[in-house]
Copies of this chain bind each other. A is one copy, B any other.
Amino acid sequence: MTRPTIRHVAQKARVGIGTVSRVLNNSPNVSPETRQRVMDAIRELNFKPNLAARQLSNKLQLHHIGVITQTFINYYSFAERLRGVQRALGALSNPYQIILYNISSMAFLDEQIDLIAQNRAVQGLLIIDLRITDEQRAQLDEANVPYVGLNHFTNVSWPCVATDNLQGGYLATEYLLRHGHRRIAYIGDDFVDSFGFRTSQERYQGHLQALAEYNVQPRDEYLRLGMYGYEAARHLAQDLLKMDQPPTAIFAMSDMQALGCIAAVRAAGLRVPQDVSVLGYDDLEISEHTGLTTVRQHLERSGQYGVRYLLDLIRRRDQSQPPEMPPLTVIPRETVQSICPS
C-alpha cells in the first residue's frame, strides 16, 4: 500500500485537488465546512504531503550543510568544532541547516559519500577527523558538491582548514623540555586509526623533533599507544608509572587522555604536577576550567572557519583562499611544573 497523495484526499473529501492544496497552504478561500471535510480526510488517511513535490513546485530551495565525522571518537572535541559550525551558520541571515551524518565504520563512509554525491542532498560537506580517498573526492567533485576538510594535513591538495599536528607535537614537547623535563612520555592513539587518520603519528613526529633539538634520546618505553579516550590512557599511564625510571612528564595527544593520565598519577599516590607533569592537546573549554596545561588548537574556531570557507566555495566558483588558523600555542596552567634536569 502506497502513501496517499493529495488526489486520494481529494477523492475521499469529494473535492478537487486544488481545494486540498488550498487547505494545506492555509489559503483563506475555502469554506469552513469544506475545509473540515478535507482535514478529516487528511487525518483518516494519515496523509503527509510530499516534501519533494512541494519544493519542486514552489521552486523552494533548502539549504543544507553536511557534517560528516567518525562519531564517538573524542566526541568533546567534535562537539566544540560543531559548535563553531553552528555559531558561524547562526550568524547568517538565511541560515543553512546542518545535516549530521553518522559514520561508525569505513564501509558506511563509502556508502554515505556515495549517497551524498548521488543525491546532492547537501550544498556542501564538512569532513571532520576523517580521511577520504581520492576516489571519494573524485565522486564529490564530479557531483559538484564542494567540501572542506577539518583537521587534515595542511599540505593536502584539497580544501581544508587545519593546524599542523607536527608543530603542535613539537610545541608541546619543547615546552616540557624548556621546563627542565628530559624523561618525557607520549601517550596517544594508535598511529593509524580505523579510519586511516594519523593525527597521533604526526604529533609524535613533532615530539621526536623537539627531543632531537634538545639532544634527548627518545626511549621506546616512553611511547605508549592504545585506543582513544580516557580509560585507555589511564591504563597506559598506569603502566608507565610502574617503570624503574618513570617519566617526569607525560604528553598526551588529547585532553581527555591527559585527564586519564592525571587520574593514573593520582591513583599511584603521586601528585600532578609536583611528581609528574601532564600536558594535553586540544584545549577543550573544560580544560580551562580544570586547570589543564595544554596545546590550544582553537577547535571551535576551526568549525567557524571551516563553514565560512565552505560557503565561499559554494557561492563563488573561483577558488577562494583557505582561511588561516591562528597559531597553536601551549596554554600554561596547573599541570606542568619546572624541574631541574637530572
Report A's interface with B, CB cutoff 8 A: 42, 46-56, 60, 62, 64, 71-72, 75-76, 79, 82-83, 86-87, 89-90, 95, 97-102, 104, 119-121, 144, 230, 256, 259-260, 263, 285-286, 289-290, 317
Chain copies in the assembly? 2
Residues on B with beta carbons closer than 8 Å to the beta carbon of A98: 99-100, 102
Is there an interface contact between B317 and A119, defined as CB atoms closer than 8 Å? no
CA distance A60 to B50 in the complex (A): 10
Q: A86-B102, A97-B99 are in contact. Are A49 and B256 (CB under 8 A)?
A: no
CA distance A76 to B79 in the complex (A): 8
Q: Specify which of B52, B83, B100 is in contact with A72 (CB 8 Å cutoff).
A: B83
Residues on B with beta carbons closer than 8 Å to the beta carbon of A64: 99
Residues on B with beta carbons closer than 8 Å to the beta carbon of A263: 289
Is there an interface contact between B51 and A71, defined as CB atoms closer than 8 Å? no
Residues on B with beta carbons closer than 8 Å to the beta carbon of A53: 52, 56
Q: A90-B71, A97-B100 are in contact. Are A121 and B51 (CB under 8 A)?
A: yes
Residues on B with beta carbons closer than 8 Å to the beta carbon of A83: 71-72, 75
- Residue in A49, A50, A100, A317 with the greatest tally of chain B CB atoms within 10 Å: A100
Residues on B with beta carbons closer than 8 Å to the beta carbon of A286: 76, 259, 286, 290
Given contacts A79-B82, A290-B290, 12 further A-B contacts (CB under 8 A): A42-B144, A46-B144, A55-B119, A62-B121, A71-B90, A72-B87, A76-B79, A76-B285, A79-B79, A86-B102, A259-B289, A259-B290
Is there an interface contact between B100 and A86, defined as CB atoms closer than 8 Å? yes
Residues on B with beta carbons closer than 8 Å to the beta carbon of A79: 75-76, 79, 82
CA distance A328 to B144 in the complex (A): 49
Residues on B with beta carbons closer than 8 Å to the beta carbon of A72: 83, 86-87
